[in-house]
Amino acid sequence: MVRWIIIFLVIALIAAIFGFGGIAEGATDIAMIIFWIFLVLLVLSILFRLFKK
pLDDT at 47 over 90: yes
pTM of the model: 0.70
pLDDT at 37: 92
Q: Where are the domains of the chain?
A: 2-52
Looking at residue 53, the DSSP 8-state letter turns out to be: -
| 27 CB-contact burial (10 Å; exposed 0-12 / middle 13-18 / buried 19+) | buried
Q: How many whole angstroms separate alpha carbon 25 and alpha carbon 14?
A: 11
pLDDT at 31: 86
Q: What is the pLDDT of residues 12-42, one digit of tens each?
A: 888 888 888 788 888 888 888 988 999 999 8
pLDDT at 44: 93
